[in-house]
Chains A and B, each alone.
Chain A
Amino acid sequence: MIVGAEWYMTVAAALFLIGAFGLLLRRNALIMFMCIELMLNAVNLTLIAAGRALNDLGGQVAVFFILVVAAAEVVVGLAIIVAIFRRRTTASVDELSELRG
Chain B
Amino acid sequence: MTFSDWIAEPVNWVFAAIGLAVLFSGFRVVTSKNVVHAALYLVGALAGTAGLFLLMSAEFVAWVLVLVYIGAVIVLFLFGIMITRAPTGLDESLSSDQTAMPALLSAAVFVVMTWASIDAFGTELLATVGEATSTQVIGESLLGRFVIPFEVVSFVLLAALIGGITIARRDLTPVEEEERMSV
A interface list, Cβ under 8 A from B: 1-11, 13-22, 24-28, 30-31, 33-35, 37-38, 41, 44-45, 48-53, 55, 57, 59-61, 63-65, 67-76, 78-83, 85-86, 89, 91-92, 94
Q: Are A64 and B94 in contact (CB under 8 A)?
A: no
Q: Are B15 and A7 in contact (CB under 8 A)?
A: yes
Those 3 A-B pairs whose CB atoms lie nearest each other, nearest first? A22-B30, A24-B102, A79-B164
Give the CA-CA distance A72 to B168 in the complex, in Å: 14
Q: Are A2 and B126 in contact (CB under 8 A)?
A: yes
Query: In the assembled complex, how far is the CB of residue B159 from the closest CB belonging to chain A, in whole angstroms?
Result: 8
Give the CA-CA distance A24 to B149 in the complex, in Å: 32
B interface list, Cβ under 8 A from A: 1, 5-6, 8-9, 11-12, 15, 19, 22-23, 26-27, 29-31, 35, 38-39, 42, 45-46, 49, 52-53, 56-58, 60-61, 64-65, 68-69, 72-73, 76-77, 79-81, 83-87, 93-96, 98-99, 101-103, 105-107, 109-110, 113-114, 117-118, 120-122, 124-128, 130, 133, 137-138, 141-142, 146, 149-150, 153, 156-157, 159-161, 163-165, 167-168, 170
Give the CA-CA distance A40 to B84 in the complex, in Å: 24
User: Contacts of B141 on A, CB cut-off 8 Å?
Assistant: 57, 61
Q: Are A27 and B118 in contact (CB under 8 A)?
A: no
Given known pairs A18-B106, A67-B64, A86-B170, the reply for A72 and B122 (CB within 8 Å) is no
Q: Are B49 and A41 in contact (CB under 8 A)?
A: yes
Task: Sample 26 A-B pairs with CB under 8 A, ordered by A number.
Answer: A4-B124, A5-B125, A10-B117, A13-B113, A15-B49, A18-B27, A21-B30, A26-B30, A27-B93, A31-B35, A31-B94, A37-B42, A41-B46, A45-B52, A51-B58, A52-B58, A57-B133, A63-B61, A68-B68, A68-B157, A75-B160, A76-B160, A78-B164, A82-B84, A83-B167, A89-B85
Give the CA-CA distance A4 to B114 in the complex, in Å: 14
Given known pairs A9-B121, A26-B94, A73-B160, the reply for A34 and B38 (CB within 8 Å) is yes
Given known pairs A15-B23, A72-B156, the reply for A55 and B127 (CB within 8 Å) is yes
Given known pairs A37-B42, A57-B137, the reply for A13 and B117 (CB within 8 Å) is yes
Q: Are B117 and A82 in contact (CB under 8 A)?
A: no
Extra A-B contacts (12), CB below 8 Å, given A15-B22, A26-B96 = A1-B8, A8-B52, A10-B114, A11-B22, A14-B114, A21-B103, A22-B30, A25-B96, A25-B99, A26-B94, A30-B80, A52-B57
Q: Are B121 and A30 in contact (CB under 8 A)?
A: no
Given known pairs A44-B49, A67-B61, A75-B76, the reply for A2 and B117 (CB within 8 Å) is no
Given known pairs A2-B9, A53-B126, the reply for A65 and B49 (CB within 8 Å) is no
